[in-house]
Amino acid sequence: MTPATAPILMSEDQALSLVESTLKQSQADGVFVSLSDGESSLSRFSENQITQNISRSRFNLTITSYFGKRSASASTSEQDPEAIATTLRQSEELARIAPEDPEWVPLLEPQSYDRRIPAFDDATATVSPLRRGEMVKQVCEKAAQSGVESSGTLSVAAISRAIGNSLGVLASDRKTEADFSVTAKIGKGSSWTSRTAFAIDRLPIAEMTEQAIARSIACQSPRKIQPGVYPVIFDAAAFADLLPWVIWNMDARAADEGRSFMSHTDATGKSAGNRVGEPLFSPLVQVQRNPAHPLLQFGTFFEDGLSNTPLDIITNGIPQTLSYSRYWAQQQGKQPTGMMYPIVMTGSDEASLTDLIAQTPQGILVSRAWYVRYINPRTLEVTGMTRDGTFWIENGEIAYPIENLRFNQSLPELLRDVDALTTVQRFGGSVVPGVRVKAFNFTSTTDSI
């Protein structure tokens, strides 16, 4: 038996051709078509043995028809012409009877997209279930040899997408992505780490496994410390679960309407503009939307057709812009920004997590920020827990493990107190460094491990 390896993935030319043929059939005042064709695979393991090894193909074509300020969408997972024609007619019929949109904006005019090719790795797109299984087997064997139980996932995806509208917007691209996460557990100690890359061979799986095993062993017999405010070093994987909260909440409409940490309000509590241009954060905080970053190499357009180009979000700790939807940009006389994604924060050229620990007289190392949730969206105060490896630092060294802690923390204040950075790593669609903050607020201990 020969394992199947080649995905049945639509080429960019095929995707564009299908979008264009759909546009030509429209009888609406305007039409927008979005296509996605993907192949994804997942290998899951638990208790040092593989438990799942699956693959899935998914095709989706969404058609949005417009009649004046009325619109409606319909989707199909079928590629045959009859199914697409039926879907188009459904979107038109629904659009004719839809209520007028009070926040209507006209169809997007043709855009200028960057002339670069997103990362597409053939070896990742065609990796076989057998190869994935062998990679997982090596992780499980290494954990078993150390007396540790491992669990986690190894996933890959290859996606072809295309968009077009009746005013002349037309674009397509392809990308690949690979992700690995591992949890190591022994006794009451556990450790976790995760990483993402555009190619499966760029995932440092052996190194990540060794780190997880070592930290889980080091987590035995944790000591209790009193809740309070401490200097904290966040591993990059932990910081990747905190920084996006700040960027997601830099929405122009929410700020202008007084619903955001970026809002100014007057003495009566009414909205009085936003805080763009104010030095809110540490000068070390530099954040961009940068789809061209070497670790990402994302596509050149968003799902709505807007161009995905580099955008300065925070420079030297000063917010440079907010996220403007097409509607809010129209209301405020601004240019729409598109989403603030992917998030890229500049780190150190050389400093490692070990370097930050060596430079810290006393503090806490957090390996993972878990179950982060809002307390107050207006101030962007959140709560969450540490998990999978929390340690006390003394005299520049990891002294001993500590019991996990719950935190209540203003995230703008966290970014204000950043005073050191590590090199960057990729987690999902974010590239972030590890960071040290001068003060972080822990409110109680927790039984989580």
Are 278 and 204 part of one and the same domain? no
Are 62 and 98 part of one and the same domain? yes
Strand stretches in 311-368, DSSP E:
311-315, 318-319, 343-345, 362-366
Residue 2 has pLDDT above 60, yes or no: no
Question: In sequence order, what are the beta bridge partners of 59?
Answer: 37
pTM: 0.94
Are 227 and 172 part of one and the same domain? no
Q: What is the pLDDT of residue 7?
A: 52
Alpha-carbon distance of 117 to 115, in angstroms, equals 7
Residue 1 is assigned to a structural domain of this protein: no
Are 390 and 413 part of one and the same domain? yes
Are 198 and 283 part of one and the same domain? no
Residue 401 is assigned to a structural domain of this protein: yes
H or E element, residue 397 = strand 397-401
Are 339 and 417 part of one and the same domain? no
334 alpha carbon, distance to own chain's centre: 26
Out of 320, 345, 370, a domain closes at: 345
Residues listed for the chain: 449
Residue 4 is assigned to a structural domain of this protein: no
CATH for 96: 3.30.2290.10
Are 320 and 402 part of one and the same domain? no
For the chain, the domain total comes to 3
Spatial contact of 247 and 340, defined as CB atoms under 8 Å apart: yes
Provide mean pLDDT across the span 81-108. Answer: 98
Residue 292 is assigned to a structural domain of this protein: yes
Tell me the residue range of the domain where 303 lies: 244-345
Alpha-carbon distance of 124 to 401, in angstroms, equals 38
Count of Cβ atoms closer than 10 Å to residue 52 Cβ? 11
Are 338 and 358 part of one and the same domain? no
Are 272 and 124 part of one and the same domain? no
Residue 72 is assigned to a structural domain of this protein: yes
Residue 7 is assigned to a structural domain of this protein: no
Residue 185 has pLDDT above 70, yes or no: yes
From residue 31, give the alpha-carbon distance in Å to each of 19, 23, 96, 202, 432.
11, 7, 13, 40, 38
215 alpha carbon, distance to own chain's centre: 25
The amino acid at 195: R
Residue 6 has pLDDT above 70, yes or no: no
Out of 304, 330, 345, a domain closes at: 345
Q: At what angle do helices 129-145 and 205-218 cross, to 10 degrees?
A: 30
Alpha-carbon distance of 198 to 200, in angstroms, equals 7
Are 428 and 310 part of one and the same domain? no
Provide mean pLDDT across the span 77-82. Answer: 96
H or E element, residue 308 = none
Assign 3-class secondary structure to 9-66: CCCHHHHHHHHHHHHHCCCCCEEEEEEEEEEEEEEEEECCEEEEEEEEEEEEEEEEEE
Are 134 and 236 part of one and the same domain? no
pLDDT tens by residue, 336-386:
999 999 999 999 999 999 999 999 999 999 999 999 999 999 999 999 999
Residue 407 is assigned to a structural domain of this protein: yes
Residue 6 is assigned to a structural domain of this protein: no
Contacts of 354 (CB under 8 A, 6+ apart): none
Out of 288, 321, 345, a domain closes at: 345
Alpha-carbon distance of 386 to 444, in angstroms, equals 11
Backbone angles phi, psi at 420, to 5 degrees: -160, 150
Are 36 and 20 part of one and the same domain? yes
Q: What is the pLDDT of residue 131?
A: 97
Task: Give the rounded percent of residues in the chain with a pLDDT score beyond 70.
Answer: 98
Residue 5 has pLDDT above 60, yes or no: no
Q: State the average pLDDT for the chain.
A: 96
Alpha-carbon distance of 16 to 115, in angstroms, equals 17
Q: What is the pLDDT of residue 4?
A: 45
